Copies of this chain bind each other. A is one copy, B any other.
Amino acid sequence: MDHDRLLDLLLEAATLKRMPRTGWGMRGVPHVESVAEHSFGTAFVALALAQTVAAELGHEQGASFDVEQVLIMALLHDLAEVRLTDLPVSAVRLIPPDVKSQAEAAAISDLLAPLPAAGQLAALWQAFEAGSSPEGRLVRDADKLEMIVQCLRYELAGCRGLDEFWQAMDGRRWHYDLSAALYRRLKAMRPGADG
């Protein structure tokens, strides 16, 4: 094993701590979370979702998840941003989707190369991107729920001007009923909502 390349990866991954989630700052949020913080939150939400969906539906209904996959997907889902940065909606509108996908895939592939199971990890990232497995779809829901949890926290602390984030989610087709239910409850907790 080439330890120096492994350490390069660990040092570069820590850059996510200094990569702001740009959408918040653009709307004037004073204290902007980092991509690393969002990734932690996504993994935590995904773990909670996986356990609760499975418990609510019962394992016989095929609602059990490979939690190892879920957590790896959550940790890696924004790893490409260590090089690409967090592109807000206004940027995504200006860049063709396939260009963004290819850039992310190239970054992921290059970043993970020092790891023994790089290919498997990249495949998990792809399954997240495509929502092509139950685990991938679960983490896609977790990614958005985590954003809304943070958005609500900002609003409960006094931030305003974040309606767009909720509006974007109002039209979302959640992959799991639990996600939709949690979203509705979070929305009811907004300041001024009829909770």
Residues on A close to B: CB < 8 A? 1, 3-4, 6-7, 9-11, 13-20, 22, 25-31, 33-34, 36-37, 39-41, 43-45, 47-48, 51-52, 54-56, 67-68, 71-72, 75, 82-88, 90-91, 93-96, 99, 103, 106-107, 115-117, 145-146, 149-150, 152-154, 156-161, 178, 181-182, 185-186, 189, 191
Task: Name the B residues within 8 Å of A191 (CB-CB).
Answer: 160
- 7 A-B pairs in the complex with CB atoms less than 8 angstroms apart: A11-B149, A17-B33, A28-B156, A83-B90, A84-B87, A84-B94, A158-B159
Tally of this chain's copies: 6
Majority-rule SS of A interface residues: helix
Known contacts A116-B55, A161-B156; A185/B31 CB under 8 A = no
**Pair A14/B41 contact, Cβ less than 8 Å:** yes
